[in-house]
Structure 1
Amino acid sequence: MENRISIEIPQADLAAAKAALQQVQGILAPYVIALTPEQRKTIPKMSDGTEPFVEKVMDYAVNNVEFLPPFVSQEEMQKDWSAVMGLMPLLRMVDQIKDTLSDTAMMAGSEAYLGALSYYNSVKQGAKVNAPDAKAIYEDLKKRFERRSRKGNGSVIE
């Protein structure tokens, strides 16, 4: 079993990182919203390809205001555009942090799980040969791998 990650993050560093993230949440709380899953599906979305278009429109809307429809507020469009331009660098940074945190936790979790499976299989073999204490440990750990039948009769399949 290859050990691809071996880290010990000091509790002080974890606490400092958590405090920093809480500070970021607190700073941005008055400005951020939460969308429902339905809203996320249905609203038009700006992507990397759309961003240059919106940027051009913002320039044109300022310099050629005669084409701005009366139901579109130039001031509100500018506020939205400024919000996007301010938030996108933060979002990119948070995405990078999320990806590396996720990858690190996934790898550490994978290695911990593989170690646990190796231990479980060793205990299972110990229980088969009546090694002291192995049966009790095996009986406790095997619950993770028991499956209920789909027939609903409550029987357990291992």
Structure 2
Amino acid sequence: MSENRISASLSPADKEAVMQAIATIREKLPFLVDLTPEDRRTMLKMGDKSRAFVSIALEVATQNPNFLPRSFDLEEMRRDLALFEALYPVLLSLTQLQELVDDTCIASASEAYAAALAVYSYAKASGDVAGLDAVIDEMGRRFNRRSKKKQPEVSVS
């Protein structure tokens, strides 16, 4: 077997506590929105350079509100920027946590799968594992490939 990168367990109580903590996060952020892929694709994105631009624009608008149309909601702009600034550290923290959870899932699944392949290989090679032929055959179905159906040829007359 390959290198063992992870050897841990998650108790049911700890799992429940983590799930409750996630529920609490969702509860504390009731305003979160769910964008469609189309929304994500078409919306303006704010990167580091855009952050400075938005901050300067807000300051210009605050100091010179007379040139703005009456329909422009300066307070809404201020709230949107404040919400972004408040959520950004949360986003960074959750992104890091998600990457760690994802990597741990990948590592533990890989190790479990590698161990299962070893068990299958040993069981097949042993030959004297009485009563396991059906189970070994069932495990072997994992590797059966479906044959591609041959498409009927279209004759051109």
Instruction: Please classify the TM superposition score into its range, dividing by the shorter chain length.
Output: 0.7 to 0.9
Alignment of 1:1-158 (within 5 A): 1-29=2-30, 31-126=31-126, 129=127, 131-151=129-149
- Three-state SS of the structure 2 residue aligned to 1:50 is helix
Measure the CA separation in 1 of the matches of 2:132 and 2:82: 64
Q: Could you state the TM-score of these two structures normalised by the residue count of structure 1?
A: 0.85
Number of corresponding residues = 150
Structure of higher RCO (CA pairs closer than 8 Å, 6+ residues apart):
2
Measure the CA separation in 2 of the matches of 1:72 and 1:149: 63
Measure the CA separation in 1 of the matches of 2:150 and 2:65: 68
- Three-state SS of the structure 1 residue aligned to 2:17 is helix
* Conservation of the 8 A alpha-carbon contact between 1:58 and 1:78: yes
Q: Over the residues paired in the alignment, what is the CA RMSD in angstroms?
A: 1.9
Listed as ranges, the gaps of 5+ residues in structure 2 are 152-157
* Conservation of the 8 A alpha-carbon contact between 1:123 and 1:137: no
Q: Please state how far the C-alpha of 1:33 moved relative to its aligned partner.
A: 0.9
* Conservation of the 8 A alpha-carbon contact between 1:120 and 1:141: yes
Measure the CA separation in 2 of the matches of 1:18 and 1:39: 29
Q: Please state how far the C-alpha of 1:68 moved relative to its aligned partner.
A: 2.8
One-letter code aligned to 2:26: Q
Listed as ranges, the gaps of 5+ residues in structure 1 are 154-158
Measure the CA separation in 2 of the matches of 1:71 and 1:152: 64
Q: Deviations over 1:37-69 (max 9, x none)?
A: 111111111122311111111111111223434
Q: Please state how far the C-alpha of 1:7 moved relative to its aligned partner.
A: 0.8
Q: Could you state the TM-score of these two structures normalised by the residue count of structure 2?
A: 0.86
Measure the CA separation in 1 of the matches of 2:13 and 2:47: 38
* Conservation of the 8 A alpha-carbon contact between 1:5 and 1:107: yes
